[in-house]
Amino acid sequence: MNVHELVSVLADPDVLRARCRALALLDVVLGGSAPRHDYFPGWRAGVDLATRENGSGDLYGVVFDPAGVFLYGFDHECDATPWREWPRAHWPGLLEGLPAALAHYPADPELQFEGFFDATVCVWREADAASWRCGPVVFAPGESDGAGWLFRVLTDGSAETVCSDAEDYYERPVDRQAVAAILAGAPVDRRTVSVLNPVAGFEAVADRARWV
């Protein structure tokens, strides 16, 4: 899957936001020392930011702005990496067509690395739009932008896929029923915490969860 397929399978913004929060909350409960998913309400005035990093330099971010949603991903080993040449350069067409209301985000220092917006995938959806859009990027057969694996969990959103991904990362079994409850928006209670992370204290987890 590349970005052209990604725009057809992304959920609507409200569903996407809820899924991003649930994934961040799940990482809080699972209690890893380096959680992959984060959610920052009020990252900017009226703007939320969801992120995922895998610890190897690959990441994605989703900016929820009243003007729309801006989603980007970076696969450092794919064909579309800006590091394929020096100075770094985006894959042709990556940001072409980005609406003015969202066009300032690639220039936000917090979304840049060493003064450059490292991205191999970019997608957006204005507040009044009925579908997701991307730039006119072109890939030869076999070329990739990393969209398929970067956004697999976010686009699927099923408890089975989320659990499999978490088990691979945390290297321990993850209860499907508890994860399904979190994905459905159920409050995190003592039972959920004890099932997903028996060594965690409920109060500590609940305190951290309030910030998601």
Report the predicted TM-score, pTM, of the whole model to 2 decimal places: 0.94
Mean pLDDT of all residues belonging to the chain: 94
What ranges do the domains of the chain cover? 3-209
Confidence band, pLDDT 50/70/90 cuts, at residue 33: low
Q: 3-state SS of the chain: helix, strand, coil percent to 5?
A: 35, 20, 45
| pLDDT of amino acid 160 | 96
pLDDT in tens, 136-173: 999 999 999 999 999 999 999 999 999 999 999 989 99
- Residue recorded with tokens 């998913």: 37
pLDDT at position 56 over 90: no
| pLDDT of amino acid 205 | 82
pLDDT in tens, 8-24: 999 999 999 999 999 99
| pLDDT of amino acid 89 | 97
- Residue recorded with tokens 């801006």: 70
Exposed, middle or buried by CB within 10 Å (0-12, 13-18, 19+), for 100?
exposed
| pLDDT of amino acid 32 | 62
79 vs 209 pLDDT, higher one: 79
Distance between CA atoms of residues 91 and 144, nearest Å: 11
Please count the other Cβ atoms lying within 10 Å of the Cβ belonging to residue 186: 12
Average pLDDT over residues 171-197: 92
Helices 159-170 & 13-30 angle (0-180, nearest 10): 40
Q: Which of 15-19, 28-32, 69-73 has the lowest mean pLDDT?
A: 28-32
CB within 8 Å of 72: residues ≥ 6 apart: 60, 61, 106, 111, 117, 119, 121, 122, 123
Distance between CA atoms of residues 119 and 19, nearest Å: 22
